[in-house]
Amino acid sequence: MKHVLESVESQFEVFQILNEDGKIVNKDDMPDLSDEDLKELMRRMVYTRVLDQRSIALNRQGRLGFYAPTAGQEASQLGSHFALEKDDFILPGYRDVPQLIWHGLPLYQAFLFSRGHFHGNQMPEGVNALSPQIIIGAQYVQAAGVALGMKLRGKKAVAVTYTGDGGTSQGDFYEGMNFAGAYGAPAIFFVQNNYFAISVPVEQQTAAKTLAQKAVAAGIEGIQVDGMDVLAMYAATKHARERAINGDGPMLIEALTYRYGPHTMAGDDPTRYRTEDLDNEWEKKDPIVRFRTFLEGKKLWSEEEENKVIEQAKDDIKEAIKEADKYPKQKVTDLMENMYEELPHNLQEQWEEYKEKESK
Amino acid sequence: MAQMTMIQAITDAMRVELKDDENVLVFGEDVGKNGGVFRATEGLQDEFGKERVFDTPLAESAIGGLSIGLALEGYRPVPEIQFFGFVYEVMDSINGQMARMRYRSGGTKSQPITIRSPFGGGVNTPEMHADSLEGLIAQQPGIKVVIPSTPYDAKGLLIASIRDNDPVVFLEHMKLYRSFRGEVPEEAYTVELGKADVKREGKDVTLIAYGAMVHTCLKAAEELEKDGIDAEIIDLMTVSPLDIDTIIESVKKTNRVVVVQEAQRQAGVASTVISEIQERAILHLEAPVLRVTAPDTVFAFSEAEKIWLPDHNDVIEKVNQVMNF
C-alpha cells in the first residue's frame, strides 16, 4: 500500500523573498515594485502598527469597543491587500479592519464599527467590501458567490477573503474553497495562521502539517507564505490574482504570521497559553523591522520618514475619533428603517411607537 | 387561463422571471439538467442555459453563501434547498447572514434572494424531509416566509418573492405539488406578500391556516356546514410577517377562532397568531382561541403519519369546542 502524506506535505514549502535580516533570498520571485511602491508599503505598515497601538489604548480608555489586535500581521494583511485593485471585493474577518481601511473605508467609520454603530458598516460608494464577518467561515462561502458573480459578469476582478488558523476547521472553510474550485471562480482565500485560535494552538485544530495543503481537498492551488515578509505576501497575492482573472480559478494562501497582542481586547490574556520565549522568537521576525532594514539598505527609508508617518497616523486617529464622537447617535427608528426596503406591518407599528418615544 | 398543478405553476413562475430579468439565477442540487427532484425546474436549463440555471455541489451552507455573494454582485438568486429538513445546514447563511445584510450594512446592501424548498407530510418521505420548520425562520427579523396552498397563489407569490428586494423563504408543500389542478393565468402576475386570503367566507368561526392545512380546513368546513356551522377560512399565505388586518377583521365578525397548523404545537406560527388576536381583539372573543397542531414529538415515522398529522376531524373537534364554550 502506498502512503502519500509525506509526498503531499513536501509540496508545501514556505515561500519567502525577504529573510529576517532584511536580505533578498529569492531574486527570481522579487515583485516588480517601484521605489515609491516600496515606500508606500512601508508607510502603510508603520501607520497600521500605530493604529493598533492607539486602538488598544483607546479601547482601554473606553473610547473604542470591540477590537482585535493586528500588530505582527502587517505584512500578511497589507502586503496581500497591496496586490489588489479597487474593483476587487474584500470579505474580511473580524481582525481584518486594516485591509478595509486601505481599500477605502474612512478611519472614523472603522472606529464606529468598533463601537457598534451602523454607520461604521456603511461602505462608501465604490468601496467593494463587506464589513468584518464575525461568524468564522461565513466569509468563505460568500466569497465563492461573489467570485462566481464576477465570473458571470465577465469582470476582471477577484473576491478576496481572510480567515485564521482556527477557521480552517469550519465546514464553511472547506465548502467555500470547494465551490469556488468547482466553478473555477476568481477567488483568493487567505489563511492567516498566527498559530493560535484564542488559546488553542494550531496543532489542536488539525493533524495536517500545513494549512495550505487543505487546498488539495478542493482541487485548487495552495501556497504557504512567510506572512512576516511583505514582499512574499505581495508576490503570492499578485500571482493568485493574475491566475484568477485569467480564468485559472481560486487559490488558497496560508500566511505564517503572529499576533503580538491578545486575541481581542475583551479580557483575553495570552500569557495563559503562550510563553515569553515564543513571543520573543516572533518579535525577531517583525515584518516592519526586516522591511525597514531592506529599505534602509536601498536608501529608501529614514528615521525621519518613519516619524513623519507615525505623526500623521496619530493626527489622523485623533481626528477620526473626534469625527466618530460627533456622529449622531443611533435611534431605534434608524435600526428599523434599515431592516427592509419597505417596512412590513409589524415594524410599521413599532416604528410609530418608537417615533413617539423619540420625540419626547 | 391554463389548468396547472402547483408544481407547474411554480415552474411557470420561474420561467416568467428568468425571461423577464436577466439577473434571475436558479440553482441548487439537481435543479439543472435533471430539472429538480420534483421537476420544479424542468426544462429551465434547456431554455435559459447553464449560466442561468445550474447545479451546485452537495452542500447547503455554501448554496446559501453562493446566493449571498451572487446577490452582492447584483444578481437575483433563486436557490433551492432540496428538502427543508436540510435547512439546519444553512441556518447561518439564512438567519445569520442574508436576513441581516441590509441592517448590518446600514441599508447599503440588499439580498434579493428567494429560497425555494419543499416540506410537508402525508407523502411517506424518509426522515428529515417533511418537517414543518417555518417557525424557525419566522422568528428571524429581516426575512419573509411564504407558504402557498394553491397553484394560482403559488405562481403569483413566487413572482412577488423573486421581485422582492429582501430575502424570502418560499416553502412548497409536497402533498400539494400534484394533488389538484387550478386555473393559472399564462402571463406574469403577483400576489402581494404579507397579505392573507379569505378562502371561504363564513360568519360563525374563523379558521386560520396555511399550507396543506388550508385544504384540511376546507374539508372540515364542508362537514361543519351540514351541522349548521358556517366557517370562514383565512389562508395566511405569508406566515411572516402576518396580515394582522385580515385576521382581526374576521375575528371581529365571527368572534370565535381556531388556528390550524401542521407543525408541532411548540413550533409553527400558531402561537404568534393567537398572541396578536388576544392583544387586539380580546373583547370580541366568545371563546378562547384554540389550536390544531401536531403533537410535540419529532416528526412521525412515515407509517405513523396518518395518526400523527392533524386532519379535518381534529379541526371539527376544536371548532365544536369553541362553538360550545
Same domain, A355 and A259: no
DSSP B147-159: ---SHHHHHHHHH
Same domain, yes or no: A187 and A250: yes
Do A350 and A255 belong together in one domain?
A: no
CB atoms within 10 A of CB B17: 21
Cβ within 8 Å, pair B70-A146: yes
- Number of domains within chain A: 2
Contacts of A138 in chain B (CB under 8 A): 65, 92-93, 96-97
Helix (H, G, I), strand (E, B) or coil at B217: helix
Q: Are residues A215 and A341 in the same domain?
A: no
Residue A90 pLDDT greater than 90, yes or no:
yes
Q: Are residues A204 and A348 in the same domain?
A: no
- CA nearest to A181 within chain B: B57
Question: Which of B70, B103, B194 has its CB closest to that of A149?
Answer: B70
Q: Which three cell numbers mark A22?
A: 532584511
Co-location of A343 and A200 in the same domain? no
Asked if B64 and A152 come within 8 Å (Cβ–Cβ), the reply is no
Lookup: cell for B45: 436549463
Q: Would you call the peptide bond into A328 cis, given omega within 30 degrees of 0 as the criterion?
A: no
Helix axes B60-72, A171-183, angle to 10 degrees: 60
User: A247 with A262, same domain?
Assistant: yes
Instruction: Find out whether B251 and B281 touch, Cβ atoms under 8 Å.
Output: yes
Residue A35 pLDDT grade (very low, low, confident, very high; cuts 50, 70, 90): very high
In a shared domain, residues A228 and A359: no
The CB density around residue B100, as the number of other CB atoms within 10 Å, is 18
How many contacts, defined by CB atoms under 8 Å, are there between A and B? 134
A202 and A350 in a single domain? The answer is: no
Rounded Cα–Cα distance for residues B66 and B76 (Å):
12
Closest residue of A to B195, CA-based?
A: A345
Q: If you write DSSP's letter for every residue of A282-351 in order, what string do you get? A: HHTT-HHHHHHHHHHHTT---HHHHHHHHHHHHHHHHHHHHHHHHSPPP-HHHHHHTT-SS--HHHHHHH
Q: Which amino acid is at A242?
A: E
Q: Name the DSSP letter for residue B93.
A: I
d(CA B122, nearest CA chain A) in Å: 33
What contacts B323, CB < 8 A, 6 or more positions away?
Answer: B204, B205, B229, B256, B287
CA distances from A296 to A8, A41, A42, A216, B264 (A): 39, 14, 11, 40, 72
Contact residues on chain A for B141, CB-CB shorter than 8 A: 339
CB A78 within 8 A of CB A117: no
Reported as half-sphere exposure (CB side, CA atoms, 13 A), residue A240 has a value of: 34
Which residue numbers of B are catalytic?
129
- CATH classification of the domain holding A313: 3.40.50.970
pLDDT recorded at residue B1: 81
Residue A200, SS3?
A: strand
Q: Give mean pLDDT, residues A46-67.
A: 97
Residue at grid coordinates 432540496 = B82
Q: Which three cell numbers stand for residue A206?
A: 488539525
Assess contact for B94 and B64: CB atoms under 8 A.
yes
User: Does residue A204 sit in the same domain as residue A345?
Assistant: no
How far apart are the C-alpha atoms of A27 and A24, rounded to whole Å?
6
A347: its cell numbers: 415594524
Q: Do the Cβ atoms of A344 and B144 come within 8 Å?
A: yes
The ipTM value here is 0.97
- Residues of chain B in contact with residue A176, where contact means CB-CB under 8 angstroms, are 62, 65
Could you tell me the residue range of the domain that residue A153 belongs to?
Answer: 5-329
Distance in angstroms (rounded) separating the CA atoms of residues B197 and B264:
23
- Can you give the pTM of this predicted structure? 0.98
User: DSSP letter at A3?
Assistant: -
In A, what residues contact B, Cβ < 8 A?
89, 118-119, 121-123, 130-131, 135, 138, 140-150, 152-153, 159, 171-172, 175-176, 178-179, 182, 335, 337-341, 344-347
pLDDT tens for each residue of chain B, 325 residues long = 899 999 999 999 999 999 999 999 999 999 999 999 999 999 999 999 999 999 999 999 999 999 999 999 999 999 999 999 999 999 999 999 999 999 999 999 999 999 999 999 999 999 999 999 999 999 999 999 999 999 999 999 999 999 999 999 999 999 999 999 999 999 999 999 999 999 999 999 999 999 999 999 999 999 999 999 999 999 999 999 999 999 999 999 999 999 999 999 999 999 999 999 999 999 999 999 999 999 999 999 999 999 999 999 999 999 999 999 9
Do A275 and A359 lie in one domain? The reply is: no
Task: Assess whether A246 and A344 both reside in one domain.
Answer: no
